[in-house]
Amino acid sequence: MQAYDSVAGGESAARRAFSPRETDCLARLVRGLTDGEIAADLAITHATVRFHLDGARRKTGARSRTHLAALAVALGVARP
């Protein structure tokens, strides 16, 4: 969880750690949307959603989709 440790200092630091599209995808992930629903909502492809969520997962060290959503909330990047 290297990136998580480096952004744990505050919400603004956490927001800077993620790209705007990663943040968009994380917000929808936290709301419980599937990758297909996120893609439709953002007018991007399913593969692009996976790309952005994989990037966020690498930055946080999240072990699963659920873990990634929990970290996004804990970091203040998304609200449930």
The pTM is what? Answer: 0.82
First to last CA, the chain: 22
Q: Which residues contact 54 (CB under 8 A, 6 or more apart)?
A: none
Domains and CATH numbers, the chain: 2-74 (1.10.10.10)
As a whole number of angstroms, the distance between CA 29 and CA 50 comes to 11
For the record, the structure tokens of 66 come out as 């659920």
Task: Please give the average per-residue pLDDT across 3-24, as a whole number.
Answer: 70
pLDDT (tens digit, 9 = 90+) per residue, 15-74?
679 999 999 999 999 999 999 999 999 999 999 999 999 999 999 999 999 999 999 999
